[in-house]
């Protein structure tokens, strides 16, 4: 993680963002057309500015019956600085196209578009959302992984066992924007620094004010503000 943080921090200093959308690829010679385009996997990832997403984006073009169609053209586009490998391709025998996405130099929510054409030549689009973390948000992500995620994420991994089920009052996952976006920054500072009782919440939320610096808490809040956009 530390090496990745250094790498994309250097990329941020070298490359400046712009407002133009990504360059459109050359047209492909499609041999078929579909009625709909759907996401198979790869959406709603959290990545880092200037870096490839961990998982590729996979989309599928279907006919009117929901079956995959081979030989249809799919084009990917997005905001400035986003790149796709490939940016355009024909669907395989299962009707799918896989593309590796590298995020731009701006942190925040990225809205990507996968486009195909139906039998009438009309564009059929699929919107895909990803999140890019900037420097402070990435520092917050590292702090989350060290101090918070075990209780605030219900999912266990091979490296971490979730503690959420052991708590009498379940903590809000940081992806729960409906709740966290209603809390002010001052509220988040209070509950992180002084624990749940600071906001009349569960005392099982411990105080971290003696462990985390003010800048650490600020970075963690930057991360919490970024993630609920998922």
In terms of pLDDT, which residue wins out, 8 or 160?
A: 160
Q: Does residue 124 have a pLDDT over 90?
A: yes
pLDDT at 21: 56
Establish how many alpha carbons lie within 13 A of residue 201's alpha carbon, considering only the half-sphere containing its beta carbon: 20
Chain segment 132-181, per-residue pLDDT in tens: 999 999 999 999 999 999 999 988 888 889 999 899 999 999 988 888 88
pLDDT at 227: 86
- Is 0.85 surpassed by the pTM of this model? no
pLDDT at 116: 98
Mean pLDDT is lowest, of 83-97, 102-116, 170-184, for: 170-184
Among residues 185, 187, 191, 186, the alpha carbon closest in space to that of 225 is found at: 185
pLDDT (average), residues 203-212: 96
**Strand locations in 42-147, DSSP E?**
46-48, 57-62, 73-77, 83-85, 88-90, 96-102, 108-117, 123-133
Question: What is the C-alpha end-to-end distance of the chain, expressed in Å?
Answer: 21
CA distance 217 to 194: 12
pLDDT (average), residues 81-109: 96
Q: Does residue 186 have a pLDDT over 90?
A: yes
Chain segment 19-63, per-residue pLDDT in tens: 445 566 778 999 999 999 999 999 999 999 999 999 999 999 999
pLDDT at 191: 96
pLDDT at 22: 56
pLDDT at 157: 87
């Amino acid at each position: 993680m530390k090496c990745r943080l250094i790498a994309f921090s250097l990329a941020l200093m070298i490359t400046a963002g712009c407002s133009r959308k990504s360059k459109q690829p050359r047209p492909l010679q499609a041999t078929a057309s579909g009625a709909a385009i759907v996401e198979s996997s790869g959406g709603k990832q959290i990545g880092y500015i200037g870096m490839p997403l961990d998982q590729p984006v996979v989309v599928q073009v279907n006919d009117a019956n929901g079956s995959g169609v081979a030989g249809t053209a799919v084009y990917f586009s997005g905001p400035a600085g986003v790149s796709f490998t490939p940016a355009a391709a024909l669907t395989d025998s299962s009707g799918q196209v896989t593309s590796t996405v590298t995020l731009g130099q701006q942190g925040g929510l990225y809205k990507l578009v996968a486009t195909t054409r139906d039998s009438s030549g009309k564009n059929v689009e699929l919107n895909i959302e990803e999140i890019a973390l900037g420097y402070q948000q990435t520092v917050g992500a590292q702090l989350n992984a060290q101090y918070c995620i075990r209780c605030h994420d219900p999912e266990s991994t091979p490296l971490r066992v979730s503690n959420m089920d052991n708590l009498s009052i379940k903590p809000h996952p940081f992806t729960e924007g409906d709740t966290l976006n209603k809390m002010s920054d001052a509220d988040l500072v209070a509950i992180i620094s002084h624990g749940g009782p600071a906001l009349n919440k569960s005392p099982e939320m411990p105080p971290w004010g003696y462990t985390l610096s003010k800048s650490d808490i600020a970075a963690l809040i930057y991360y919490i503000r970024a993630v609920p956009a998922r």
